[in-house]
Amino acid sequence: MTKPSSINARGFLRPLQLTAVVFFTVSGGPYGLEPVLQYVGGGVALMLIIVTPILWSIPAIFMVLELNGMMPINGGYYQWVKKGLGLKWGFFEGWWSWLFTFTDLAIYPVLFVQYLSFFYPEVAQYKIPICLVIIWVSAALNLLGILSVGRSSLLLGFGVLVPFAILFAVAIGRGFSFSLSTVSMQTYGLGFTAFGMGLYTVMWNFLGWDNASSFVEEVYRPVRSYLISIIAAFVLILSMYFLSIWTGTITGIDAGVLKAQGFPSLGLLVGGWWLGAVLSFGGMASALGLFISILLAISRVPKAMADDGLLSPALSRIHPKHNVPHVSIIVCALVVSGMIFWEFGDLLIIDVTLYGAALFLEFVALIVLRITKPDAERPFRIPLNVPGLVVMTMLPVACAVVALAAALSEVSIYTNATLFAICAVGTAPIVWILLRVRHSAP
């Protein structure tokens, strides 16, 4: 893939489109955040929404901006780890990222069906065929090229933002008070497992800042564009999360209903059926945008790994007309088609655990590259020395450890999913050994 010149940048993402893609590779709006109220209550939920991105997201954003500017190569995080730690660890990074993204992608078609059932409750019995249609329509958009994804994400982004803007406006118009006195910080009876699941939920809704690095060669003036787009997306996501949970808290909605029926139930409470319908449309737009954008991000990683001989050479093929790794896109869609049978809570734990393992390798690569290549050009440089980077790395690690410990504490219904996630992390060295044996065979 060729980089754009200042004269001809057709076929490359601009900052506004990139902002929409980053928004969807990380968030897609507050949809999926609903369970946090039942896990921890309104006051603790709002606290987690403020504190978690400081510990979990901001270090990741800084890391992405530095390494993405230093190595603007498709494959993003895989390339960073490979350069800093070697091919073996690069494979681990790509493998874990592939697994967690497949898990992540499996969530969104199911959410689409959930929001569609607001209008047609009987569609739940057709969940599997509807999910498959969503998967392959999204794959088709990706096969048409990155601009089709960018434009679709921009349109769907408005489809997510507008319903929540209407919700907030109606809530204020109906006299609901947005004041701190309406939010309880009661923590009595809050168990460690419940807190951990609340933390897992918020972490999941704030992960994925490195996803958009995988197609950096297809972005116009990437250093400037990523800086603008990531900051804009972060402010937008944080604001939407805070206001949506605040609205749920001050309206007094039953937390169990919100978890089971999603934000359309909050629309029903605040404005009636029409507002519930608007938020349901927003939920469907969110699910589509998430799937389309994350499929774009992950499809470039197998291509980069195949270029290094780690995966089948077929995954390296680029479509001559649309300039996309079409075989990789199709393979990713096929794998996700077989992963739509898990429950949401299980998928969330598997997702965050695998992502945390991959993210840790990226931070280690950041520190190693600071030591081994101190004079390399870094258009964006985190204003910390090596010890400072180590401390920064410990912040998201601490979040992941607390959440994992909570999920494993006592007798939790999520223990099996957590153990499965840990086993999935352990598959990377096994697959690596098998690859080495295959390559060394005569």
Task: Give residue-wise pLDDT tens across range 272-305.
Answer: 999 999 999 999 999 999 999 988 888 888 888 8
Taking residues 375-386, report their average pLDDT. Answer: 94
List the structure tokens of 295: 């499929």
In a domain, 160, yes or no: yes
In a domain, 220, yes or no: yes
In a domain, 323, yes or no: yes
Q: Could you write out the DSSP letters of every residue in 140-177?
A: HHHHT-HHHHHHHHHHHHHHHHHHHHHHHHHHHHTT--
Domain that holds residue 277: 18-440
Q: Helix 127-143 and helix 326-337: axis angle, to 10°?
A: 170
| b/e burial code for range 342-358 (CB count within 10 A of at least 16 → b) | beebbbbbbbbbbbbbb
Please provide the size of the chain in residues.
442
pLDDT band at 5; cut points 50, 70, 90 = very low
pLDDT band at 441; cut points 50, 70, 90 = low
CATH number at residue 214: 1.20.1740.10
Taking residues 68-73, report their average pLDDT. Answer: 93
The pLDDT of residue 71 is above 60: yes
Taking residues 322-336, report their average pLDDT. Answer: 87
Taking residues 219-239, report their average pLDDT. Answer: 94
Taking residues 167-178, report their average pLDDT. Answer: 84
Higher pLDDT, 412 or 17: 17
Beta bridge partners of 13: 219
In a domain, 331, yes or no: yes
pLDDT band at 7; cut points 50, 70, 90 = very low
pLDDT the model gives residue 292: 92
pLDDT the model gives residue 403: 77
Higher pLDDT, 175 or 158: 158
Least confident span in 297-306, 309-318, 402-411, 417-426: 402-411
Taking residues 212-226, report their average pLDDT. Answer: 91
pLDDT band at 404; cut points 50, 70, 90 = confident
Q: Which residues contact 200 (CB under 8 A, 6 or more apart)?
A: 348, 349, 352, 403, 406, 407
Q: End-to-end alpha-carbon separation of the chain, Å? A: 34
In a domain, 8, yes or no: no
CA atoms of 133 and 150, how far apart (whole Å): 20
Higher pLDDT, 139 or 184: 139
Is residue 219 helix, strand or coil?
strand
Q: Helix 15-26 and helix 146-173: axis angle, to 10°?
A: 70
Beta bridge partners of 219: 13
In a domain, 216, yes or no: yes
The pLDDT of residue 348 is above 50: yes
pLDDT the model gives residue 3: 44
In a domain, 4, yes or no: no
In a domain, 97, yes or no: yes
Our count of domains for the chain comes to 1
